[in-house]
Structure 1
Amino acid sequence: MITYTNTVIAEHERGLLFRDGRLDKVLTPGRNRLLSLGHELRIQRCDLSDPVFSVMHAQLLFDSAAGLLETHLHQVVTGNRQLALVRYDGELSDIVPPHCRRLYWREPLRIEVEPVDLAEGLRIADRLRAELMRRDAPVRLSQAIANYVHSAEVADRHVGLLFIDGEYRETLPPGGHAFWSIDRKVHVAVVDGRLQSMEVAGQEILSRDKVSLRVNLSATWQVEDAVHALRESSDYREQLYRELQFALRKAIGTRTLDSLLADRQQLDRTIHDAVAARAKALGLRLIGVGLKDIILPGEMKAILNQVVEAEKQAQANVIRRREETAATRSALNTAKLMESNPTLMRLKELETLEKVADKVERLTVFGGLEGMMRDSVRIDA
């Protein structure tokens, strides 16, 4: 029985016509009149908004009907150490990994394929990195980047150390970097090259005279050789902390409380000298060490306060005695002058009388002013 079927293919579609289960024709946009001639017809519509030919068993279908599909599809094949960058109308949109086959519709977008040889190196050029890192990347490209690209940002005054499969390869300067991570483990360790501080706080330590102290130490340091630091220690910060902690405990444990309080700068120098060489062996530079706090137990603090108070009181008593001695010596000298000089004696009496008179509210005079002067004060010529 002969029958006709009409089907309409939209502008953004292509139709795969199967006759008795075998691909017979690719239907293009428009109205298509199909003659069945008793055969079973089936049409599979393909949306070209996704340029990837992703029907079920796509590769098998292409291989079995290559002559029919080659005019409509572009096949991308990559080798074992090769990948391909696929651009739609000049815009990077997909990455084909090594040892892979992928099919793309030739229409309506223009397909461009750029092969990349991984044997030439894993570093991604800055121009390509900018394309890969753009914010509006399509979903397929974003998924490929997450699977095949390792990117890293190295900040100013920092250095980046590139490790491939656990082996150090090179030191990266500040800036953006990207590498292909296909079948390789790529890692960039970023190391801060600026001055850094470290606090060794809350250390409970016994001094040589068995006084329990709580001590806080501060240190300033810098990474001098980043490669050496990462190779020598899995955690160079933790290692430096331990070295400072051990040196602090040793320095305090060999000193009495009085010597600690008397010369803290000497203690700082001792700790610095003990740790500096070990820090250099770790690829670090110890710049300075300072003892911030020495916290005493409550009862010891009260005893020291009493000692300080007694010392200050003794100093005050010495000053008071010195002033009293000076005042007595001055009075003795004045008395000797008066003894040898009657006129000076009478002047002193007048000064005393003046002071007394200032404090008297009423003064009654008998015998007149002349009698008062004659009887109260008489200066012998």
Structure 2
Amino acid sequence: MFKKIIIKADERGLLFKRGSYVKHLQPGIHRFSSFTDDTVIVQNVLRPFAPVDKELDVFLQDAELMRELAIADVQDNEYVLHYVDGKFVSLLTSGTYAFWNVMKRHTFVTVDILSPEFTQEVKLTILPKLHGYFQMFEVAGHESGILYYNNVIQRELQPGKYYFWKGPVSVAVKTLDLRQQQLDMTGQEIMTEDKVTLRLNFVCQYKIVNSLKSLEIKSFEDQVYILLQLILREYVGTLKLDDLLRMKQEIGEFVLSRLNDKSESYGVQFISAGVKDIILPGDIKDILNTVLLAEKKAQANIITRREETASTRSLMNTAKLMDENGTLYRLKELEFLEKICEKIGTISLTGGDNLLEQLNSLLSVRSTEK
């Protein structure tokens, strides 16, 4: 008596004697004695190689079987990308996997997650199928990124998207804004050389040019603020109030120069600096207003006297010319006569003289007296 086993073209058989694996069977008809305890496990080659209740190591010694299997041995520090006929199907984590490499071609790409950044072998088109196994960081066009592995700086990242495997290595990206930034110092109380306490509103613009250097400074903006504060105190403390008000523009130039002396150690470029406002105490402000008002009144008096002097000098020059030139005097008389006539609405004549003769008689008095 015989037992007949039929294995189809898309199948393979695994022969066991008394529970021990013997060999694998190719497609066809296989007969076995009914009196033996031979058993056959039939496997579909379109599915993963997974014999029930048997470890994969049991079959690895069969060289004939190994020629028809694709084995993926994934270590603890690895992920394996599994492709079938060139198409991605799954990600394999730590373990050993076997697939029938008969009717379909199985290939694998191994990635070391101890170096978590994606390599060129990993196509971004498969990302939707890798959900939960990677993380993405984006650096904007106006930013610089600093890459950390386990809190240790690795390198600077240029603008773009970056992908990393999740695993034993902790990945973080810190971004820094490279655009021009502004630091405002408001209401800073400073004492001048002549012991006047005033408040300054100061502003400076800067931008980060060395991201790695700026990250070496804890509380970067606070330290830049303190540096600016110290420079202002140093400069203003050497000036009297009047000098400070007069040299307002020079304060910004001095501070900018001193800031740029420190710019390399901070990894920044200071672009501009200047005083926005100088706020004086109320009593000092009243005194300055009084002084200013007195100065303006004095200037107004000087201008008034200057104009009066010029007007008198002009009249004297005119009188002298008219004394020396009778014709000029006569013309001036006619000019005033014309102005008088413009304001007269009605002229009455007395006597037999005409208008011109009577007007001439008025003017002849000046000639007779002269």
1:92-111 matches, within 5 Å, as 92=88, 94-97=90-93, 99-100=94-95
Residue in 2 that maps onto 1:128: 122
Segment drifting more, 301-310 vs 164-173: 301-310
Change (3 A) 1:127 1:192: farther
Change (3 A) 1:160 1:339: same
Secondary structure at the aligned position of 2:122 is classed as helix
1:149-164 matches, within 5 Å, as 150-164=135-149
Indicate yes or no: 2:193 matched with 1:199. no
Q: Verify the 8 A CA contact 2:113 2:166 in the aligned structure 1.
A: no
2:296 corresponds to which letter in structure 1? K
Q: Percent identity?
A: 33
CA distance in 2, matches of 1:132, 1:125: 13
User: Structure 1 residue 124: deviation in Å?
Assistant: 0.5
Residue in 2 that maps onto 1:143: 132
Residue in 2 that maps onto 1:376: 362
1:372 corresponds to which letter in structure 2? Q
1:131 corresponds to which letter in structure 2? T
User: Structure 1 residue 357: deviation in Å?
Assistant: 2.9
User: Structure 1 residue 104: deviation in Å?
Assistant: 10
Q: Verify the 8 A CA contact 2:201 2:277 in the aligned structure 1.
A: yes
Segment drifting more, 74-83 vs 160-169: 74-83
User: Structure 1 residue 144: deviation in Å?
Assistant: 2.6
User: Structure 1 residue 189: deviation in Å?
Assistant: 2.5
Indicate yes or no: 2:221 matched with 1:221. no
Q: Which runs of 5+ in 1 are unaligned?
A: 1-50, 53-57, 68-73
1:81-100 matches, within 5 Å, as 81-86=77-82, 92=88, 94-97=90-93, 99-100=94-95
Instruction: String of CA shifts for 1:148-195, please: whole Å, max 9, x gaps.
Output: xx4322223533222222332223222222233421122223233343
Secondary structure at the aligned position of 1:242 is classed as helix
2:329 aligned to which of 345, 348, 354: 345
CA distance in 1, matches of 2:271, 2:307: 50
Residue in 1 that maps onto 2:20: none
Instruction: String of CA shifts for 1:108-153, please: whole Å, max 9, x gaps.
Output: x99865322346x3320256262354xxx25xx32233xxxx4322
Change (3 A) 1:100 1:229: farther
Residue in 1 that maps onto 2:223: 239
Indicate yes or no: 2:219 matched with 1:230. no
Residue in 1 that maps onto 2:291: 307
Q: What is the TM-score of this pair, normalised by structure 1? A: 0.67
CA distance in 1, matches of 2:284, 2:350: 73
CA distance in 2, matches of 1:244, 1:59: 74
Q: Verify the 8 A CA contact 1:205 1:212 in the aligned structure 2.
A: yes
Q: What is the TM-score of this pair, normalised by structure 2? A: 0.69
Secondary structure at the aligned position of 1:260 is classed as helix
Residue in 2 that maps onto 1:178: 163
Alignment RMSD (CA, Å): 4.0
1:78 aligned to which of 70, 74, 80: 74
Q: Verify the 8 A CA contact 2:113 2:169 in the aligned structure 1.
A: no
Aligned residue pairs total 312
CA distance in 2, matches of 1:132, 1:198: 45
User: Structure 1 residue 247: deviation in Å?
Assistant: 1.5
User: Structure 1 residue 105: deviation in Å?
Assistant: 12
CA distance in 2, matches of 1:203, 1:129: 56
User: Structure 1 residue 212: deviation in Å?
Assistant: 3.5
Q: Verify the 8 A CA contact 2:72 2:96 in the aligned structure 1.
A: yes
Larger Rg: 2
Change (3 A) 1:168 1:343: same
Secondary structure at the aligned position of 1:143 is classed as coil
CA distance in 1, matches of 2:83, 2:201: 61
Indicate yes or no: 2:112 matched with 1:117. yes
Instruction: String of CA shifts for 1:282-321, please: whole Å, max 9, x gaps.
Output: 2222222122222334444444334333322322221221
Residue in 1 that maps onto 2:23: none
Instruction: String of CA shifts for 1:85-107, please: whole Å, max 9, x gaps.
Output: 3468866565444x45789999x
2:209 corresponds to which letter in structure 1? E
Change (3 A) 1:195 1:289: same
Q: Which runs of 5+ in 2 are unaligned?
A: 1-46, 60-69
Instruction: String of CA shifts for 1:207-262, please: whole Å, max 9, x gaps.
Output: 3333343322221222232222223x133233222211222233223322211211
CA distance in 1, matches of 2:240, 2:154: 51
